[in-house]
Each structure stands twice: as C-alpha cells, then as structure tokens.
Chain A
Amino acid sequence: SAVISQKPSRDICQRGTSLTIQCQVDSQVTMMFWYRQQPGQSLTLIATANQGSEATYESGFVIDKFPISRPNLTFSTLTVSNMSPEDSSIYLCSVPSGGDIQYFGAGTRLSVL
C-alpha cells in the first residue's frame, strides 16, 4: 500500500481565514481523493483530483470554497477558504492502490474559532 503524508496534522484557525492542507504520496498515482469527516460523522467525499485536469467536486462542495491543486503525480493540496466554525472537521486524502482500493493519510484535524 502507498505511504501517505498529510500536513499539517492539526491546526486552529480564525474565522474568515484560509488553510491549505498538503498530501504527499510515496508513489505516483493518477487519482487522489479528498474527504471530510465532521465531528462524530462518517467520511464524505469532497472531490477527486486527477493530475493534469480540474478537480471533480461532489454535490454540496464548490471550487471557490475548496480549491484543489494537483501539480504532479505524488502531491496535492486542498484549501479550505473563508473558514467558519462549521468547517471544523478532519480532512483526509486518499489514493487508490492495487486497483480501486483506497488508502488514507492520517488526516488534518481543523478547528475554526
């Protein structure tokens, strides 16, 4: 399975600011996925990031709020923009390996005050 590193592991941010989360993989992958896990809830897919093209967002998530970059086959960033307390969540990136089985990073725990 791939080794996935996320930075930062946690952050506390002020309302109205933005935070960029980084995801680094130890192997080249075409697709990377970004999920959100709200407190006490399960994981919800935010978007799929394909290297060389625009990210594909799920219903309820928009590019202006969650811009994604995918500059190469081992790296992606997710920005949470103009944050509010409702954005307090764990943000996780995942990559497929061995077909369509996905492996996850440790996540970024975000608290917005």
Chain B
Amino acid sequence: QKEVEQDPGPLSVPEGAIVSLNCTYSNSAFQYFMWYRQYSRKGPELLMYTYSSGNKEDGRFTAQVDKSSKYISLFIRDSQPSDSATYLCAMSVGIQGAQKLVFGQGTRLTINP
C-alpha cells in the first residue's frame, strides 16, 4: 500500500464547475499537507499548504484536511480552462528544516470551455 493514494483520473469537467480532488494517506506522522499544480512540461507550482485539520481558502481554491480520517481535498470553484493541469497532493515528514515530501500519483484535470 502506498503512503499517499490519489486517483490519477483523468478528470474532465465543463468550465464553471466545482472540482473536487482528493488524497488519502496512511502515515500519521505527516505534518504539512500541500497541493501542487503542474502544467505540461513545467515544474510543480505550489498552490496551497495547510498544517492542521480544517479548511483554508485562497480565492477560488479551498484546501481541506481531515487528520482523523487521513483525508485531504482541494476544491476549485468556478473552474477555468486555465486550471487544466495535473494536480499533485504532497505531504511532508521528518525533522523540521529537513522534511521530505511524499507525493500522490497526481490527477490530470481538464476544464472544457
């Protein structure tokens, strides 16, 4: 069993839809929970990060963490064609200042105009 599980998709939705992306994890030692967006032929771009259970909102994006269920989500409201990318969840573990990231498989998302 992988430490972080993420549905690889692909996921295709119409413009304006609400998108829900999810990851589950098994390691209780994970500390930070991050979402990266990766456009084709580009490096991962940090979208959001959270530390504790609950919701964190940034514009059209909301990150949600439920540590009791070991489950994190990213919601995208009013989705745009420019949101089409691969979304990677990542979780950090280790001592402060030297934490390594464990990534999910990534979900390929397409927003259709």
Contacts and interface: CB of A to CB of B under 8 A. Distances in A.
Interface of A: 1, 6, 30-31, 33, 41-45, 48, 50, 58, 92, 94, 96, 99-107, 109
A9 B105 CA distance: 23
Contacts of B96: 99-100
5 contacts: A96-B97, A100-B92, A100-B97, A101-B46, A102-B46
B100 A48 contact: yes
Nearest to A92: B43
Contacts, number: 60
Contacts of A94: 101
Contacts of A1: 46
A99 B34 CA distance: 13
Contacts of B99: 96, 100
B14 to A, nearest CB: 25
Given A100-B31, A100-B32, A101-B32, A43 B42 contact: no
Contact of A33 (B41, B100, B104): B100
B29 interface: no
B97 A42 contact: no
A50 B104 CA distance: 25
A102 B97 contact: no
Nearest to B45: A104
B45 to A, nearest CB: 8
B103 interface: yes
Nearest 7 CB-CB pairs, A to B? A100-B99, A104-B43, A42-B103, A106-B43, A43-B103, A107-B43, A104-B44
A53 to B, nearest CB: 11
